[in-house]
Structure 1
Amino acid sequence: MRDRRLSPASLAVAAASAVLIAGAGCGGDAYDPLATAAARAGHPGNPEASIPPMCYATTAGGANGCWTCHTTGRGPNTLADHDLQRAYSFSDAARRNPWTHLLEDLSAAAARTSDAEILEYIREDNYAPLRKALAARPDYPGYVPDLDLEAGFDDDGFARDGSGFRAVRYKPFPGSFWPTNGSAGDVFLRLPAAFREDASGAPSREVYRLNLALLEAAIASPSPLPVGGAAPPAEAPAGREVEPVSELLAGLDLDGDGAISASVTRIRRLPARYVGGAAGVPVRAWIYPRGTELLHSVRYLDPDRPALLAARMKELRYARKVDEPDDWAIARAYEREAEEKEEGRPPFHAGAPEVGLRNAFGWQIQAFIEDERGRLRLQTAEEHRACMGCHGAVGVTVDQTFSLARKVPGAAGWRHQDLRGMPDVPQAGHAEPEVLTYLRRARGADDYRGNAEMLARFFPGGALDEAEVRRGAPGGDRDLAYLVAPSRERALLLDKAYRALVRAQRFEAGRDVVLGPATGILRVVEGESTGLAEAERVYLDGRAHLAW
């Protein structure tokens, strides 16, 4: 085990928080979001917490949900981890499944909560109190949420509070991240101040729009776009649809039509650098610039809100790109990850809860989760490591992220999350809609094949009703919300079950819920083979990018 001692700053925060631990940890009136993490400092817990529960799923002779994450990396992501579809490549320490909450029956605990009680609970705001509590802690070195959600967003998705955040509307990653499996979520993006200013340093919405469009084209284009002054070749991809932006500001024919126009809505080639105050920052395909921030909330399901987003957050997750490694450093980071895995060492992440954990690709990640009274608190070191599995080294990610690569193209994707009207488009390189492909390959709507509501809807008699699923695809009469939103009854049951986990405060045993014990999950991994190779059910084509 490598040295995991906390930094002096972290120890100072722990000392400052100690006097409030009793009140915050035992249901008293005092609210210190830092107390729990401070109390557990020096107790690392599960060193393999970065292995998500989905990786313990059984395959039932061919049920494969693994393909969505473990695939052939592309571009700067040189990781090809599709072998993890074939084998449970766990260290000895990870062979016993730690996510035991998924093996429990929470129905009795959920039944003790009435519909009225859970609705009142999920409609309470626990985000504003977190902001207030952290703003009052000058000793705290981490992220203080500075997005005023109550102020809302304008018609273009920009935060009205002037913080620079912009809402991103995106297609949720398939499987566990669909609302039918427990949670709704939203994402907000902010670029550094220089990207929001013109060359003189004055704030400029027009410059910011263009820089965001350039980033969207750089990250979300399924094929890397040409960068620099050369015109795109005739065989170049169609490019990325963006909101209307000015080529005059870029000084480049972005859409490749042979003219530089005041307004274009497609980018087929990228300038060498961003514009305005960020004119010194290179544009890199599938790489975010240093200083990029992503804010992501995971929320309860409110069945009476069209977008299902409850006021109460289960978690608040924040990521900042604090370093921008070059291509060589990225490749070396993937090599080190492979070496650690080969040697049976758990992954190491620098940092501490009070400042967040850092992966090898320049992202610093910090997160908050509910305490037993529903107030957001800083996650412990072990709880933070559970975030790092999907944002460390996974074949499918685009610069270790998911959401922007899956953004609805153009202006329609710059607003608060809402699945209504969103089509079930295929993944890049696929011919069939993504939800349909997932249901075919996973043989269910989640990795454990335990979502009874989805099985009843789309697998009548045990066979997939493809025609019904295609209704949400382009040209169909329904949308993504129809496919992956739960019924009112299921949404409330999921909320109640998760509330039972919150009361128990045992997130080291998992933070995902199923209605009834999961049967498609291993308690102990005894063999190596998943059986997918023998069943010829391994797929190398999983992509975060979409074919809009």
Structure 2
Amino acid sequence: MIVSYFFKVGLWASLGVSVAGLTACSGTSGSKTQDVEIITLDGPQTVQQVTAMFDDDWLLNTKVHHRASSYIPSQCYTRTEGQNGKVHNPCFTCHSTPKAPTYIDDTSFQMAYEFRDTSRKNPWINLFKDRTEAVANISDDTIMEYVRQSNYFDEDGRIILAETLKDVPKNWDFNGDGEWNGYRPDCYFNFDSEGFDRTPSGEDSGWRSFGYTPFLGTFWPTNGSTDDVIMRLAPAFRKDENGAWDRDVYRLNLAIVEALIKRRNVSIPPTDETLYQVDLNKDGELGQATEVVYDWAPLEGRYMSYVGQAKQQLAQKKVHLAGGLYPEGTEFIHSVRYIDFDENGDIRMSPRFKELRYGIKTNWNTYTQLRNVAMEELKEAHDFPDRLRYVQGSPEGGMLSGVGWTYQGFIEDQNGDLRPQSYEESLNCIGCHAGISQTTDTSFAFPRKLDADAFQGGWYHWTQKGLSGIPEPKWSDGTYEYTQYLLENGSGNEFRNNPEVIAKFFDEKGEVKPEALERLHGDIGYLLLPSPERAKALNKAYKVIVDEQSYIYGRTPHIKSLKDTVWLEPPADEPTGVKEAVLIP
């Protein structure tokens, strides 16, 4: 059953007064997520007024609401009709055909601005600022020196934020217990030939990096940031049945989770199934397996299993298994960084982080529970059309998604050091990770992981091999995905302010260049990677936002005002101009 949405909520309901009956299938395990005082800015406030509020008491003890609708991302306020009358449709990337256990069908968002009256006003007013002068005042040498300084590691290789959290600053200690109760960064970004992260003592940290085809539009480096995604399963998935650490067990469990998330078979090295007493290839006997076969249909009596200690916990119902869902305890970290380049002009990740984002699955929800959440959201939109969603959480304990995940983030302060994100700054993440139709169990990257025929079987970090040379992804019907985005949108991002992509892929008449598409088919780097000149300009544009600490007004790096391509207030009940929704197979 798929639930259609008719209002611009388009996001999962969360715990709180706005939605009834979700407590049973939402929440965290041991996280402190109590509420804090709400301050409403009548705004837009001046930058000076906003930065003046960043004192010791403000950060973790207040919710600053420039707009209560800040969970709706800035891309949703795009003007889909251009000044030349041409219609652009970047909306299909997030709002298209869902697949259970995602039960929302938000394809109608492609064709109408279905905002509520209370969310129609665009909260992302940074989009309308002209930063030409501010960017010009930053030299190339200054910005590149800045982005090449790590704010994650100190000179001795220690994780700066983890060291700070050992003696948590008073204004970060939300519950006042003298301890930091949220995520403590513990990934060393020291990846071996299988993508496993190694600690300074040479042990596995549990984190494993993977290569993937970046999600469409904003997430491409050509639009302002480099990034990565790294995952870790709960301790039981890393241990054998005797409770001992076992990398072979961990590899297999990661492959099993990959098969469950992708819902298709996953290749593995030749594996003796008798060691684990699990029929991985589903051939009816225990022998040699070279793949994990996806064959999960419990209503038809077909089941799958983890291996090692996780297999025992599955039998005890301490962890769960289902197609399209991660097991409890799954973690992701996502570092968002500036754009660096080497002496040859090749783009690479910067040592400096813009943000460190973290997510953990704390609760299990069945298909039925997830469907009920979607139906509660639909009822909420019908019964209370002007009421926005309410998200429970705090900067220390994290923000609750409402469907079993907790998300948390750290972002640069005025000195360039990482600090916890405030409540409203974190809302920006919850929106995309809690209810659009094109995520899998709220995640974007892992369903797009490269397959076993890729470098290191797809298990590697971008510092080991970059985006260049990766073939363009295809939909199940053979459609080239990035090509379709260019054809539908006519640009390389939602705001259509990327002249490099436009010049590469479109002629003076706005027609796509066949030779450029042909090159893209074999190398996504041709589209996704900016020139060093554009990289420097976008780095400077973001540094201006850091200096202002104006993240609650938008953190998209741009120089010129986007008033020609972004609505300050979309018209009520007006179509976008898109006549037919793009349905992703």
Could you state the TM-score of these two structures normalised by the residue count of structure 2?
0.80
- State the AA in 2 paired with 1:247: E
- Local SS of the residue matching 2:240: coil
Q: Distance in 2 between matches of 1:509 and 1:341?
A: 26
Partner of 2:165: 134
- Local SS of the residue matching 2:432: coil
Partner of 1:400: 442
Q: Deviations over 1:250-297 (max 9, x none)?
A: 534433566644451453436532110001324311100011000111
Residue 531 of structure 2: which of 487, 491, 497 is its match?
Answer: 487
Task: Report the more deviating stretch, 511-520 or 251-260.
Answer: 251-260
Q: Distance in 2 between matches of 1:471 and 1:183?
A: 23
1:467 aligned onto 2:521: no
Q: Distance in 2 between matches of 1:59 and 1:258?
A: 53
The percent identity for this pair of structures is: 35
Residue 290 of structure 1: which of 325, 328, 338 is its match?
Answer: 328
Partner of 1:416: 461
1:56 aligned onto 2:77: yes
1:277 aligned onto 2:309: yes
Partner of 2:59: 37
1:76 aligned onto 2:101: yes
Partner of 1:540: 583
Q: Distance in 2 between matches of 1:406 and 1:146?
A: 25
Structure 1 residues 351, 469: closer, same or farther in 2, change over 3 A?
Answer: same
1:388 aligned onto 2:434: no
- State the AA in 2 paired with 1:96: K
Residue 323 of structure 1: which of 358, 363, 376 is its match?
Answer: 363
Structure 1 residues 246, 46: closer, same or farther in 2, change over 3 A?
Answer: farther
Q: Deviations over 1:202-228 (max 9, x none)?
A: 11111000000000111123xxx5xxx
Residue 239 of structure 2: which of 176, 184, 197 is its match?
Answer: 197
- State the AA in 2 paired with 1:404: F
Whether the 8 Å CA contact 1:157–1:414 is kept in 2: the answer is yes
Query: What is the 5 A alignment of 1:447-462?
Result: 447-461=494-508, 462=510
Partner of 1:155: 193
1:89 aligned onto 2:137: no
Q: Which sections of structure 1, spanning at least 5 residues, go unmatched?
A: 15-24, 226-238, 543-548
Whether the 8 Å CA contact 2:238–2:246 is kept in 1: the answer is yes
Residue 434 of structure 1: which of 472, 481, 490 is its match?
Answer: 481
- Local SS of the residue matching 1:164: strand
Aligned-residue offset at 1:341: 3.1
Task: Report the more deviating stretch, 341-350 or 329-338.
Answer: 341-350
Structure 1 residues 115, 75: closer, same or farther in 2, change over 3 A?
Answer: same
Q: Distance in 2 between matches of 1:482 and 1:184?
A: 15
- Local SS of the residue matching 2:196: coil
Structure 1 residues 147, 35: closer, same or farther in 2, change over 3 A?
Answer: farther
Q: Deviations over 1:127-153 (max 9, x none)?
A: 23222111322522111111123xx01
Partner of 1:523: 568
Aligned-residue offset at 1:36: 5.3
- Local SS of the residue matching 2:359: strand
Query: What is the 5 A alignment of 1:196-345?
Result: 196-221=238-263, 225=264, 239-242=265-268, 245-256=271-282, 260-265=286-291, 267-269=293-295, 272-279=304-311, 280-281=313-314, 282-304=320-342, 308-342=348-382, 343=384, 344-345=386-387
Structure 1 residues 383, 497: closer, same or farther in 2, change over 3 A?
Answer: same
Q: Distance in 2 between matches of 1:240 and 1:9?
A: 38
- State the AA in 2 paired with 1:502: V
- Local SS of the residue matching 2:341: coil
Aligned-residue offset at 1:178: 0.6
Whether the 8 Å CA contact 2:104–2:374 is kept in 1: the answer is yes
- State the AA in 2 paired with 1:539: V
- Local SS of the residue matching 2:197: coil
Task: Report the more deviating stretch, 355-364 or 345-354.
Answer: 345-354
Whether the 8 Å CA contact 1:296–1:316 is kept in 2: the answer is yes
Task: Report the more deviating stretch, 460-469 or 251-260.
Answer: 251-260
1:357 aligned onto 2:388: no
Structure 1 residues 194, 443: closer, same or farther in 2, change over 3 A?
Answer: same
Q: Deviations over 1:90-137 (max 9, x none)?
A: 122221211111111222211111111111110111123222111322
Structure 1 stretches of at least 4 aligned residues deviating more than 6 Å after TM superposition: 10-14, 25-28
Residue 184 of structure 2: which of 137, 144, 152 is its match?
Answer: 144
Whether the 8 Å CA contact 1:169–1:412 is kept in 2: the answer is no
Aligned-residue offset at 1:436: 0.6
Aligned-residue offset at 1:248: 3.4
Partner of 1:20: none
Partner of 1:17: none
Structure 1 residues 434, 11: closer, same or farther in 2, change over 3 A?
Answer: closer
Could you state the TM-score of these two structures normalised by the residue count of structure 1?
0.85
Q: Distance in 2 between matches of 1:517 and 1:302?
A: 25
Aligned-residue offset at 1:420: 2.3
Q: Deviations over 1:281-338 (max 9, x none)?
A: 2431110001100011111000228562111111110000000111111111112222
Q: Distance in 2 between matches of 1:449 and 1:515?
A: 13
Q: Which sections of structure 2, spanning at least 5 residues, go unmatched?
A: 1-15, 20-29, 38-50, 153-158, 169-177, 297-302, 315-319
Partner of 1:101: 126
- State the AA in 1 paired with 2:322: R
Q: Distance in 2 between matches of 1:297 and 1:38?
A: 22
Residue 556 of structure 2: which of 492, 499, 512 is its match?
Answer: 512
1:119 aligned onto 2:167: no
